[in-house]
Structure 1
């Protein structure tokens, strides 16, 4: 589901990049959509971690892990593959954590390709204006 959400929002970014708006507005809007996508996916995984922990599939090693922000924090650290190590999963949540890290790697790679294409388009349009 996370990959589908990200691919859908990237397709919307591509449509936005071909809109008649000024290029800087298109790039800014697309960047905000990409950021929204990453945050939404982290929130999806955070909800999954919470649900799985409540179902008894595992937990987290931390003094207190009850606030939604704790789950969202862990999800952001994990999806970016940063992995600080201050919170770590136990039980079957370790598998979900691995899937989230792989998903994060894929969506960050897709985002990097999109950003590269947007920059190249800007450079091409700047070169045409100077000619």
Structure 2
């Protein structure tokens, strides 16, 4: 595991050097962080769907019409809104499913905060992967 960590660090050191290429590094960093957060939302959307339809720990409903069926994109939208802690309220969880959504909001807050700290380092010309 230690050698894998070194390889990943070497890859990042080779591609993220804000002192040499500040605009390119910022573009790469923002692009990769955005992709990572979209993947996280997709993972949470899948977990939400499984929690509602397979495990049956609660439900997710439209606030305006609780009888309307939800589609996979609705779960993805809910995961994005929840991970960003926006909390629009147009989709409402119920039952024990609320606990899972609370955990995802906390997790999203931590990840977005860490991403912001990383981007601040890149914008200030520092390479976050170098000691």
TM-score range, shorter chain: 0.7 to 0.9
| Most deviating of 61-70 and 29-38 | 61-70
In structure 2, C-alpha distance between the alignment counterparts of 1:28 and 1:110, rounded to whole Å: 17
Q: Which residue matches 1:35?
A: 34
In structure 2, C-alpha distance between the alignment counterparts of 1:92 and 1:20, rounded to whole Å: 49
Deviation at 1:14, TM superposition (A): 4.6
- From 101, 105, 111, the equivalent of 1:107 is 111
Q: CA RMSD in A?
A: 2.5
In structure 2, C-alpha distance between the alignment counterparts of 1:116 and 1:14, rounded to whole Å: 16
The answer on whether the counterparts of 2:19 and 2:125 sit within 8 Å (CA) in structure 1 is no
The answer on whether the counterparts of 1:42 and 1:75 sit within 8 Å (CA) in structure 2 is yes
Task: Output the TM-score relative to the length of structure 1.
Answer: 0.76
1:69 aligns with 2:65: no
As a proportion of its length, which structure holds more helix? 1
Deviation at 1:18, TM superposition (A): 3.1
1:27-79 Cα offsets, whole Å, 9 max, x none, are: 21111000001111011100000011112111112133431110001111110
Task: Output the TM-score relative to the length of structure 2.
Answer: 0.76
Aligned residues: 113
